[in-house]
């Protein structure tokens, strides 16, 4: 796994690149650790595909502090999802990890990767729970999905670790790019 930090204090703009990960070979999960605590919010952009032959698999995200995932039942989320034929919605409370939507599988088409954009708000605060918003889209060989999720990590610790997992194995070429949103006046 390749992890390279690209944050630079001399960079200008409201959104600053923090790190980029691209899998050189298939992996069961990948993670971002030692996230700097100097930004207001985080934006995580994920382009993934799993190696199994299914049309799709679930994308799971565990947040954490102390450079380790929180394995407790501290997540909740609400979702709306559509696939061009049907829609669904639901709510999950007090679960051990949060499902951020679907990841394309090799059964969808050999070249298709799904995209998720996750905003994590107020991540460095040590006095509030962390909220997130996830937008997810997959083209699965004519059968696609779009998904919107909002959720909560019920932990007041400053977030410095993100682990991505799936029902399958992430394929080589899967990427995760992490950006920090500067505080006003920063």
Q: Where do the domains of the chain lie?
A: 2-6+21-139+151-181
Q: How, if at all, do strands 98-105 and 41-50 pair?
A: parallel
CA geometry: angle 77, 127, 66, nearest 5 deg: 80
In this prediction the pTM is 0.87
Q: How confident is the model at residue 1 (pLDDT cuts 50, 70, 90)?
A: very low
> How far is Cα 146 from Cα 73, in angstroms, rounded to an integer?
26
In the predicted structure, residue 22 carries a pLDDT above the cut 90 = yes
Q: Is the pLDDT of residue 139 over 90?
A: no
Strand-pairing partners, residue 104, are 49, 56
| Level-2 CATH architecture, domain 2-6+21-139+151-181 | Sandwich (2.60)
The CA distance from 123 to 115, in Å, is 22
The pLDDT value recorded for residue 26 is 94
């Amino acid at each position: 796994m390749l992890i390279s930090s690209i944050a630079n204090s001399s960079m200008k703009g409201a959104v600053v690149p923090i790190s980029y990960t691209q899998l050189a070979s298939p992996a069961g999960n990948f993670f971002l650790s030692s996230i700097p605590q100097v930004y207001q919010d985080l934006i995580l952009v994920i382009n993934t595909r799993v190696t199994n032959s299914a049309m799709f698999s679930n994308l799971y995200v565990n947040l954490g502090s102390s450079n380790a995932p929180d394995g407790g039942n501290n997540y909740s989320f609400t979702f709306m999802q559509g696939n061009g034929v049907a829609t669904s919605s639901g709510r999950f409370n007090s679960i051990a990890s949060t499902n951020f939507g679907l990841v394309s599988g090799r059964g969808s088409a050999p070249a298709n990767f799904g995209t998720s954009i996750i905003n994590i708000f107020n991540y460095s605060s040590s006095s509030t729970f962390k909220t997130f918003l996830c937008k997810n889209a997959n083209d699965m060989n004519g059968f696609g999905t779009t998904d919107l999720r909002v959720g909560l990590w019920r932990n007041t610790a400053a977030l410095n670790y993100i682990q991505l997992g799936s029902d399958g194995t992430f394929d080589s070429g899967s990427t995760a790019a992490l950006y920090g949103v500067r505080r006003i006046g920063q």
